[in-house]
Amino acid sequence: MSGIAGNRDYRLLWTGQVVSEAGFSTTTIAFPLLVLALTGSAAQSGLVLGAVAISQLVAGLPAGALVDRWPRKRIMLGCEAVQAVAAGGLVLALYRGAAEVWMLVVVAVVMGLSRALFEPAEEASLPRLVAEEQVPSAVAMNAARTSAGQLSGTALGGFLFAVGRAVPFLFDVVAHVFAFVSLLFVRLPRRPERAEDRPPKHLGREIAEGLRWVWTRPPLRATVLCVVSLNLFFSAYYLVIIVLATERGVSSGEIGVMAAMLGAGGILGSLAAPYLHRRISAYGLVIGVFWALTVLTPLAVFVHNGYVMGALFAAVAFLPPAANTAIATYQLLSTPDGLRGRLGGVLGVTGGLAAAAGPALGGWLVEALPAVSAVLTCTGSIAVVTLATTFSRTLRGLPAAPRVRELEETSGQ
């Protein structure tokens, strides 16, 4: 990790984005509180929050194609600027007492569209921003940054809203301005220009080209399915465990500690991921994580104490970042620069769909089954995926990712 710590440009990007992530999470907590204060309607609160996720999912594939067309640093700067302006407009409306729900929906859509563009632009830029051997550390540190921003933003959101309705959104403005200024000083090497890439193609064909790139390469396809499985079953398991803890009389305070321990486990796992990546093969990390989850997840059936459950949460959350780092590093370094934006768009959409479907699956399980049975059903599903990954010839033979220069020299992109 020491190597990447000395990378000035990555450090600037990372610092700006941890603040930006905290601002986004603060706003996410403040949105439903503000809607409830304005209207008293829980349904409209859900509408505003849903607007962020839905707009990000809908825009995901086109955004990935645009990231491969446009200068990536300008995309990231534009996203931060637009979010600062949108949040600033809401602050002004609140100050004047003129805020309405439709304004919140507009701000939420702007946030979702901005994230749909920013995330693949940043991911696609990593192999040019850091040395090739630093890519695993950068991927892991970005995951830790997201977890840290979410934890701090979630804690800040309720507190700042209690100070004043506009305060969380004012903090979000400051966060995006800070991230914008940090990005101004990031020196992102220019992408190689190829004559065949200069005339823009039809956007639909570019999107199809990105989907085809992922689907027709078995290692990429297999790693995407691994990530989707992790997101789906982990988010379902989380909801099932919360219901199980509530049924067993665990207090809301202890449940809050459980959630914090889950976040802390994810951060520690992200910090450990580069170390594990250097010592264990990608296949070993993937199957190791799935087997560990298969063993750990059913232990919740025997736990009745919230703090012990939190420790189990932390252990479970500690594991996935290592597999995700190995997978994301392979995906980035085995994809030509001209397709990395579309790769990010595909990954963002599939991951987002899995993350959205997971809680719905968990909710259905706890409605249809006793909580203990729901836990065991989640475990059984993870075990099926574990066996599939263990005996997958594609994953077992996962090749080392080609070096970036070699890939660009041999690729027709």
Confidence check: pLDDT of 101 > 50? yes
Give how many domains the chain has, as a whole number: 2
pLDDT > 80? residue 191: no
How far apart, in whole angstroms, are the C-alpha atoms of residue 155 and residue 161?
Answer: 11
Is 202 contained in some domain?
no
Query: Do 222 and 97 belong to one domain?
Result: no
The mean pLDDT value of the chain amounts to: 89
In the predicted structure, residue 410 carries a pLDDT above the cut 50:
no
Tell me the backbone φ, ψ of residue 189, rounded to 5 degrees: -55, 145
pLDDT greater than 90 at residue 176: yes
pLDDT at 73: 96
Evaluate whether residue 380 is within a structural domain.
Answer: yes
DSSP class of residue 45 equals H
C-alpha distance from residue 368 to each of 83, 155, 347, 356, 362 (Å)? 41, 33, 31, 19, 10
pTM: 0.90
The mean pLDDT of 218-238, rounded to a whole number, is 89
Q: Say how many C-beta atoms besides its own lie within 10 A of residue 195's C-beta.
A: 6
Query: What share of the chain has pLDDT > 70, as a percent?
Result: 93
CATH of the domain at 158: 1.20.1250.20
First-to-last alpha carbon distance for the chain, in angstroms, is 32
Token digits for 234?
């982990």
- Please name the amino acid found at residue 73: K
> What is the pLDDT averaged over residues 186-214?
79
Q: Which residues make Cβ contacts (< 8 Å) with residue 280, sequence separation at least 6?
A: 288, 322
Q: CA 204, 206, 209 angle in degrees (round to 5)?
A: 110
Q: Residue 198 above 90 pLDDT?
A: no
Whether residue 230 sits in one domain with residue 118: no
Query: Rounded CA gap, 271 and 279, in Å?
Result: 14
Question: Is 374 domain-assigned?
Answer: yes
> Which alpha helices (DSSP H) does 297-336 contain, by range?
306-318, 320-333
How much is the pLDDT for 405?
A: 47
Question: Which residues, other chains included, contact 227 with Cβ-Cβ below 8 Å and sequence gap of 6+?
Answer: 324, 327, 347, 350, 351, 354
Q: How far, in Å, CA of 175 to CA of 268, rounded?
A: 24
Domain match, 174 and 260 both: no
Please check whether residues 239 and 274 belong to one and the same domain.
yes
Q: Token pair for residue 251?
A: 């207090």
Q: Which has the higher per-residue pLDDT, 39 or 122?
A: 122
Residue 328 is part of which domain span? Answer: 208-413
| Alpha helices for 40-100 (secondary structure H) | 42-69, 72-96
| pLDDT, tens digit, 9 for 90 and up, residues 22-68 | 999 999 889 999 999 998 887 888 888 889 999 999 999 999 999 99
Instruction: For 376-386, write each residue's pLDDT tens digit.
Output: 999 999 999 99
| DSSP-derived 3-state class of residue 7 | coil
Question: Does residue 54 form part of some domain?
Answer: yes
Q: How big is the chain, counted in residues? A: 413
End position of a domain, from candidates 184, 219, 253: 184
324 in a structural domain? yes
pLDDT at 96: 94
Stretch 307-311: mean pLDDT? 92
Residue 409's pLDDT is what? 47
| Same domain (yes/no): 286, 149 | no
Same-domain check for residues 270 and 343: yes
